[in-house]
Amino acid sequence: MIQMFIVSIVLALLFLPFHKTWWNTPLLKKWIPLRFTAGVIYGVLLFYVGLLDQSVTGVLTYYLPLFSLGLIVDSTLVFTFVKSFRKQSALIGAGIGAVLLILFVVFWLLQPLFLADQKYNMADGEEVTVDELNPVNEENIPVVPRSYAEYRSDILMGQLPNQAFYNLGTTRIQQHDGSLYWVTPIEYDGLFRWIRSDAAPGFIVVSAENPREEPQLIETPMTYVPSAYFHEDVNRHVRSAYPDVVMYDTHFEIDEDMNPHYIVSYGSYTEFRRVSDIEGVIIVDPVSGEMTQHTVEDTPEWVNRIFPPHIAEERNTWFGIYKSGIVNRFFGREGLTQPTYWGSDDGMTGVVDESLNLSWFTDHTRLTGEGEETSRSMIGFTMFDARTGELRYFRDASGSLNGRVAMDLAERTFRRDDYVAGTPSLYNVYGQYTWVVPLMDRNSVLREIMLVNARDENVFGYGDTKREAFGAYQLELATRTDEDIVPGELTDLEEITATVERVYQWDREDSVTVRFLLEDFDRIFTVSSSSYPRAVFLEPGDTVRIEFMDGGEEIQPVEEFEILN
């Protein structure tokens, strides 16, 4: 904090006039203390209020234009009020200021045109295939949208004795103890509430996997939070200890023992503040204010994200539009892509892999010009590792439905109910690219979960619970496609031989779906005549041998089917 004031005072010298005549003229001399004070205030606003990093590029960016304007104004005023001041000297002073200002503006406007290669290299995208997108266990696919988690958190916050003092902070998804949760810190509601409160009361945890699981209010008094003021503002607290780093993002996480922490992603700029480089995190204990700095490599495992979503979105854009340089970006536009525009929804969606590691997902469409209709199919999609910054581009999804189309299909399916689709996520479900789309009513209450096959919009399933939705989707895959259903390593292949107890046949447009019960098994098995024509002759009392992927669904599609008698 002391360093910040010293830097502000030193840089305030740039606000003083450089003409000796100014200092010797009584009319102008009386303004010198005011100008110096204005310089100090400007520095305090930049470094204390605005939390600007005290770096060379930061100082040049925010002080050089004002210094240049000062030369122009000073030379003009001295020439105006001091008759003995030579016109040539005034023109030289004003000219130097004008040249500096013009050079700065031209550099600032033209420099981005020469950074295409640097930005593309910083994105460092790698093209991969679907074989590297491992299937995810059904139980660990998040189906609870952020808006529903915020809705439930808001209700639970009503249990606080002085709930009018507080607001909900930003809700983030994270992994804890092998499951996914939405975690929301409780923040102050303004300056006067901060003055009257000793500490923020804690945080709220809502399951991202099970909408019926009760949320938890964890009461932990937190002093250093983003909504506090002066030295208790967590960002200002970090800036006072680390004045030179660039702070890119501050978010809330809990560790293995459910202790609260604020994670500040830090780094630096390259290419004169045009390209962001994440270097690590600063972990702040909001209770004690203790801080620890970590590089990307030595960040504790419980930290879910080091790279914030806006950095992921920025690098996705660079990877898509700068593949062949700046000329192709504006003229040829060959092979260029862009992340799908989500409107008011999240631009980057947090998804997890089989180890529950968080990645930022977005799908890519072909790059369209201004006024052109947005493509309805995706060229590919990316997974941006939130801890390492690794960007993987899955190119073999070309021709699949993009997320916007999946949302439209889900809303059309429930048009009568007037449900609104939340931000979809793409997963490898049963060996298929599948959009998982939550549907909410107008009050942000989760009503349905819908799975849409990315290759065929006619193959989808939905339900008001995750198990029901996945069971319906698996049934559609088994009856409407000829491809094998491959849930992956997390689901076991079961083989049984048993006697048929009951049979029901359902005539569809292009096939017959046969559903049957087996003795001593409490679930419904289903098989399509398009895959096994002899299934239409199944009768009670027959002995069958079947194989199926045991995902625990009540309606279980059959992979292999044989009538033994």
SS (H, E, C) 102-132: HHHHHHHHHHHHHCHHHHHHHHCEEEECHHH
Distance of CA 71 to the CA centre of its chain: 44
User: Which backbone phi and psi does 252 adopt, to 5 degrees?
Assistant: -100, 135
The Cα–Cα gap between 242 and 244 comes to 6
The Cα 528–Cα 380 span in angstroms is 32
The alpha carbon dihedral of 465, 184, 402, 440 has a sign of positive
pLDDT tens for residues 276-321? 999 999 999 999 999 999 999 999 999 999 999 999 999 999 999 9
Query: In degrees rounded to 5, what are phi and psi of residue 345?
Result: -80, 175
Q: Is residue 95 helix, strand or coil?
A: helix
pTM of the model as a whole = 0.82
| Model pLDDT, residue 490 | 40
State the pLDDT at residue 369: 61
Cα separation, 315 vs 394, whole angstroms: 15
Which string of DSSP letters, residue by residue, matches 498-537? EEEEEEEEEE-SSSEEEEEEETT--SEEEEETTT-GGGGG
Nearest to 303 by CA among 265, 360, 346, 276: 265
Q: Which of these, 90, 161, 135, lies nearest to 355 by C-alpha position?
A: 135
Q: Are 226 and 36 in contact (CB under 8 A)?
A: no
pLDDT for 492 equals: 59
Residue 472 Cα to chain centre, angstroms = 29
What angle do helix axes 56-81 and 87-110 make, rounded to 10 degrees? Answer: 150
Among residues 138, 216, 136, 224, the alpha carbon closest in space to that of 181 is found at: 216
Domains of the chain with CATH codes: 2-114 (no CATH), 145-295 (no CATH), 309-399 (no CATH), 403-480 (no CATH), 492-563 (2.40.50.1010)
CB burial of residue 50 (10 Å; 0-12, 13-18, 19+): exposed
- Rounded Cα gap, residues 170 and 191, in angstroms: 18
Alpha-carbon span 488 to 483, nearest angstrom: 14
CA 522 → CA 501, 504, 554, distances in Å? Answer: 11, 16, 8
**How many Å apart are CA 304 and CA 142, to the nearest integer?**
15
**Element spanning 484, H or E:** none
pLDDT per residue rounded down to tens, the chain (565 residues): 788 889 999 999 999 988 787 788 888 888 899 999 999 999 999 999 999 999 999 999 999 999 999 999 888 888 777 766 677 777 888 899 999 999 999 999 999 989 999 999 999 999 887 767 766 667 778 888 888 999 999 999 888 888 889 999 999 999 998 889 999 999 999 999 899 888 999 999 999 988 889 999 999 999 999 999 999 999 999 999 999 999 999 999 999 999 999 999 999 999 999 999 999 999 999 999 999 999 999 999 999 999 999 999 999 999 999 988 888 787 777 778 888 765 544 568 888 887 888 999 888 888 766 555 556 677 888 999 999 999 999 877 777 888 888 999 999 999 999 999 988 888 888 778 899 999 999 888 899 999 999 888 889 988 888 877 887 887 787 666 555 555 444 455 688 999 999 999 887 656 788 999 999 998 889 888 877 888 999 999 999 999 887 766 677 888 789 999 7
pLDDT at position 287: 96
With helix as H, strand as E and coil as C, how does 218-258 read?
EEEEECCECCCCHHHEHHHHHHHHCCCCEEEEEEEEECCCC
Question: Can you give the pLDDT at residue 84?
Answer: 63
| pLDDT score of 385 | 94
Two structure tokens written together for 360? 């930022």
| pLDDT value of residue 487 | 47
pLDDT of residue 489: 41
Q: What is the model's pLDDT at position 419?
A: 93
CA 337 vs CA 133, 329, 341, 346, 373: distances in Å? 21, 10, 12, 19, 14
* pLDDT number for residue 276: 94
Q: Which helix (H) or strand (E) holds 90?
A: helix 87-110
Q: Using only C-alpha atoms, what is the Rg of the chain?
A: 31
User: Tokens 């204005």 correspond to what residue?
Assistant: 38
**Residue closest to 16 by CA, chosen among 54, 60, 70:** 70
Distance, in Å, from the CA atom of 324 to the CA atom of 156, rounded to the nearest integer, reads 51
Phi-psi sector, 474: left (phi>0), alpha (psi -120 to 50), beta: alpha
Which is it for the CA torsion 454, 460, 466, 472, positive or negative? negative
